[in-house]
Structure 1
């Protein structure tokens, strides 16, 4: 059995022809939802441990869920900049998606950033439950100190690693990403998982990734921007803190 272990390497400094790879076959069909694939990438494909803080993953999953709804026509961003429901058939989304649509339909209109904040606290558990029902992960509760923590190790390592393997190989080959993978890559970078798919989260690696992205629909782009803006502020803050530390060290 082929196992796609998620070891990272800086592909921005590697020739795409240096070590050609064959496209792996997916052992089981993926669910097709961006939120599900982001969830799998955000967890270790063996232990199920989170790669980035839970709060960050929650915001990323919230944005991914909104993007999923936008792709099936269930939500859109109006000219006012507020998220509104679309015309998708009820069967195009799952029960949790229908719950989100009811919230959007009955609440005061809000911009994408507000909905990402609101859904962030619910998104992780809803995606975890969906993947559990699909048989892709299994909940496992462990005790750490005086608290209980539920992790979600994968049922099949190959399936769990597939979204990462697909993105990493296409970035490594300098292959232009389709709309789905372009959206997923942007979500990964904005959720702090850029280094995991790029090998190194450097300005060079990000610039090379941008050259591979296919433009996403305007409505989806508007849903992703708040997440990217938060990532940008975080990186700027970290850069400023490092600069202050360096200046203090030289004194």
Structure 2
């Protein structure tokens, strides 16, 4: 694996660059990041979707500690788990691990503060904005009808839609609805929504099946949209 992980991209989109505070509900982001790690494994050819469950296709480590820890957990599970069960299992503690990794790499910094004299809180303002800038550029191009997204960007767009992160893209009012519609179109064009034959998908069928299943799992976990 090389480059920036999908879970890191989601997290950076969800945090305000200056205040370092999350701009969306914790549950939404945590579920999204759990799904993103699983999608990462699918992109790397390590997990697949089979008979309603996520299974290990290749147990070889990817070289990314957080991702490999999840791969090992799936491989060690005797009974295959559904996408819904895995996003629930993995979401706890994942955010802190990813934030810690981003801090060590100098992408964000950890600012600890005390509120009301005894409550310790942490903020994570951006130090190196280049990572998030690239993520926003790719999503902007996809939303404005630019080049056909590659499978990683298409998967990211699907996750953004599933966790209802459109406001984090700087959109309000009608722009949120328009962005959601475009994100769904991208997901459909990638074969993630079942509206396109997987042979015509812009991504590998094995990846499309995993992303589709995880997108549904997150959307169902969050309930009806407002």
TM-score bucket of the superposed structures, by smaller chain: 0.7 to 0.9
Bigger Cα Rg: 1
**CA shift digits 1:171-202 (9 cap, x unpaired):** 13454322111111111122221133372321
Taking the aligned partners of 1:89 and 1:106, their CA distance within structure 2 comes to: 13
70-79 or 109-118: which moved more?
A: 70-79
TM (norm. structure 1) is: 0.72
Match of 2:92 in 1: 121
SS of match in other structure, 1:105: helix
Q: Measure how far apart 1:165 and its partner are.
A: 3.3
Correspondence list, 1:153-164, <5 A = 153-164=125-136
Determine whether 1:224 maps to 2:215: yes
33-42 or 208-217: which moved more?
A: 208-217
SS of match in other structure, 1:121: coil
Runs of 4+ displaced beyond 6 Å:
none
Aligned-CA RMSD value: 2.2
Q: Which runs of 5+ in 1 are unaligned?
A: 1-29, 239-251
TM (norm. structure 2) is: 0.80
SS of match in other structure, 1:143: strand
Match of 2:102 in 1: 131
Match of 1:106 in 2: 76
Change over 3 Å in CA distance of 1:162–1:143 after alignment to 2: farther
Q: Which runs of 5+ in 2 are unaligned?
A: 191-202
Taking the aligned partners of 1:59 and 1:209, their CA distance within structure 2 comes to: 18
150-159 or 135-144: which moved more?
A: 150-159
Aligned 8 A contact 2:4 2:131 in 1: no
Determine whether 1:178 maps to 2:156: no
Correspondence list, 1:16-165, <5 A = 31-79=3-51, 81-87=52-58, 89-90=60-61, 92-107=62-77, 108-145=79-116, 146-165=118-137
Aligned 8 A contact 2:159 2:215 in 1: yes
SS of match in other structure, 2:121: strand
Taking the aligned partners of 1:220 and 1:206, their CA distance within structure 2 comes to: 17
Taking the aligned partners of 1:99 and 1:134, their CA distance within structure 2 comes to: 19
Change over 3 Å in CA distance of 1:93–1:111 after alignment to 2: farther
Change over 3 Å in CA distance of 1:86–1:151 after alignment to 2: farther
Aligned 8 A contact 2:163 2:218 in 1: yes
**CA shift digits 1:202-231 (9 cap, x unpaired):** 1x4322333344415212322222012334
Aligned length: 203
Q: Measure how far apart 1:129 and its partner are.
A: 2.0
Taking the aligned partners of 1:220 and 1:117, their CA distance within structure 2 comes to: 16
Determine whether 1:209 maps to 2:183: yes
Q: Measure how far apart 1:99 and its partner are.
A: 1.8
